[in-house]
A and B are shown apart, each in its own frame.
Chain A
Amino acid sequence: MKILCKFFFKLLKLAAIIYGILFIVFYYDLDGKFLYYIWEPFMVKRFDNMKRADTTTTPYSMTENVE
């Protein structure tokens, strides 16, 4: 019983720490800051350098009436 209680309190403590950390992330807008300063520039670089198909080579072939 004691072990179970101990484990439960440990779990509660861990949850409280995680909850506290998440609150700090929330309150100081750390998620926003991460996305703005790290994630977005990385993605912009990725997408700017991505090799894209030249869509103007798409054939213009659907000339039959589909109705």
Chain B
Amino acid sequence: MKDLVHIFELEDLLQEAYNPLVRRARDDGLRALGYTCYFMPEVLLDLPGCFSVRLRAPRSSFPDMATYYMSGRTCMYGRCLLERALEGGYNFLDAQMATETCAVTCRFQEHLQLLDVIKNPDFFCEFTDVPFKKNENSIEHYETQLRAHVLDKLSDSFGIDTSDDAILTAIRQHNEICRLISEIGSYRKLDEPTITGWEFSVIQLCTLVCPKYLIIDKLRDIANELKTRTPDVKKTYRCKVVLTGSEEDDPDFIKLIEECGALVVADRHCYGSLPGREEIIVKEGETPLRAIARHYLETSECPRFMDQHVMRQRKQYIADVAKEYKADGVIISQMKFCEYWSYERTIDTLIIQRDFGLPVCSIEKEYVNNAVGQLRTRFQAFVESIELKKLQKGGRT
């Protein structure tokens, strides 16, 4: 396929956290607010006067200093973030809006409080408590937390307008991004998708790490171009897969999977769009903040949720996504030392194959992708096994 408009420009924006668009937004006088987890609603950090930056540590090598602080037995994502912070890579942040949603990112954010690493006199790190269930009690609790630890804090510290009108404005902007991303992503559902997993991953990541107002035009251009983009005459992939799992912010990893012949048509992971790019609907009689609290709890598919039916529906969700995106199999990828996904990957690997008949490739990887050879072998074998299954199925019919 022809190169997608803006794609290389967007790829460049992912080379560092303090990218040119973040610089520009700060020059425009906006406050940069860092966060790590889906449970910190980015829409609230995109209120007029500030913008959200979901933290990544691109081009990391071994995080030596962070390993001293967090040992070598913790998730490398958390360690690479700390390393980057210690190197001064996040000095542009005005605040870190933290959540204690997994042990290691929590410790990373606590280090930001303890070590005074962010060289910005205004900087603060504020924690929000996130519930483990999706019931009314949890929505109410989450709303209270977001009010106290996000809105009030932003208003008190930076004078951000946190009125319902301001929130509604942020929701409108957020929803437009979501509509565009969903539209762009919908081309992955085609029998012959007109966008690759790598391209989509670059676009989706940019929406997480760049100020929305500086990127939205590019998304519109991409959406327009995709309307007329045609697939290659000769198929460049051998099967289609859903990528599910823990934190994944490296488009090169998607590229690696696609080089092995598996087109990534759906992204159900921490930095993915499924879920994450659903529009926020404010129901009648509901405050915008309540709608946000409800939306983020209801849409999340995080393995942190403990309600029995929610735990079980998570598996159904993956199967539904696979069906909707016409995937032939599922790759479950877990960041090494991520406890939530260690278990979730184990059960998903067993249940998705057994109850939904989907082939599964279950892998464990590091944040810094240095085991490329091993992973390539795994993916190639997986693609071959899917092809073999297809052949066998064809033979029987």
Contact = CB atoms under 8 A, between A and B. Distances in A.
Are A and B in contact, CB atoms below 8 Å, in the complex?
yes
Interface of A: 56, 60, 62-67
Contact of B307 (A56, A60, A65): A65
Interface in B331-371: 350-351, 354-355
Interface string B307-318: 111001101100
B312 A63 contact: yes
B224 interface: no
A64 B312 CA distance: 9
Contacts of A64: 309
Contacts of B312: 60, 62-63
Interface centre among A60, A62, A64, A66 (most CB of B within 10 A): A60
**Which secondary structure characterizes the binding site on chain A?**
loop
A67 B137 CA distance: 12
Contacts of A63: 309, 312-313, 316
Given A62-B308, A67-B135, 6 more contacts: A56-B350, A56-B354, A60-B312, A62-B312, A63-B312, A67-B307
Interface of B: 135, 307-309, 312-313, 315-316, 350-351, 354-355
A63 B316 CA distance: 10
Contact of B351 (A60, A62, A65, A67): A60
Contact of A62 (B135, B309, B316): B309
Contacts of A56: 350, 354
B59 to A, nearest CB: 41
Contacts of B316: 63
B309 A66 contact: yes
For the complex of A and B, the 8 pairs showing the least CB-CB separation, nearest first, are A65-B309, A63-B312, A63-B309, A60-B351, A62-B308, A66-B308, A64-B309, A56-B350
A63 to B, nearest CB: 5
A41 B315 CA distance: 42
Contacts of B309: 62-66
Contacts of B351: 60
Contacts of B315: 60
A60 to B, nearest CB: 6
Nearest to B350: A56
Nearest to A65: B309
21 contacts: A56-B350, A56-B354, A60-B312, A60-B315, A60-B351, A60-B355, A62-B308, A62-B309, A62-B312, A63-B309, A63-B312, A63-B313, A63-B316, A64-B309, A65-B307, A65-B308, A65-B309, A66-B308, A66-B309, A67-B135, A67-B307
Contacts of B350: 56
Contacts of A67: 135, 307
Contacts of B307: 65, 67
A25 B312 CA distance: 54
Contacts of A62: 308-309, 312
Contacts of A66: 308-309
B346 to A, nearest CB: 11
A60 B319 CA distance: 14
A60 B351 CA distance: 8
A65 B316 CA distance: 15
A65 B315 CA distance: 16
B313 to A, nearest CB: 7
A67 B307 CA distance: 9
Contacts of B135: 67
